[in-house]
Amino acid sequence: MGMEVGDNKGALASPNIVPLIDILLVLIIIFMVITPRTPRGLDTLVPQPSPNQQNQQELDNKTVVVQVNDSPNGAKLKINNEDATWDGLGPRIEQIFKERAEKIAFVKGDKDVMFMDVARAIDIMKSAGIDKVGLITAKLEAGQ
């Protein structure tokens, strides 16, 4: 600590911070030197699946499409190309979405199917706990 002699007010004490800065700089250098270098392993390249294939598999596993097809005996149902019945649609949808956080499904209607059958499928899906039901049209499927 240094001391200055002032006018008639008496002695004025002020800290000398130059040695303090020197000590801090020395400590910074010491800690930089003694810190262990992070060990580096060998760089490897892991083969990755093609992005299109991986995205398509994720979409196939994630997307649920209920198809309503027209037939002479009435509308037939398919869930992701698996045959289903009107009575089994609700429980099957509940089973599929039991573990999923996103409850989104799609309905695809045949061009000759009655809208009443598509609305019935949507109603059953909503009552099974599906949050959002989307409609797939021929233009949408073709990418237009």
Alpha carbons 114 and 116: distance in angstroms, whole number: 5
Residue 120 burial by Cβ neighbours in a 10 Å radius (0-12, 13-18, 19+): middle
**Which residues, at least 6 apart from 79, have a Cβ–Cβ distance to it below 8 Å?**
64, 65, 66, 67, 89, 92, 93, 96
Class level of CATH domain 51-142: alpha beta
Q: Is the pTM of the predicted complex or chain greater than 0.75?
A: no
Distance between CA 35 and CA 23 in Å, rounded?
18
- How many angstroms separate the CA atoms of 135 and 105, rounded? 9
pLDDT averaged per 10 residues in sequence order, the chain, 144 residues: 61 79 92 75 64 57 82 83 88 86 86 87 89 81 69
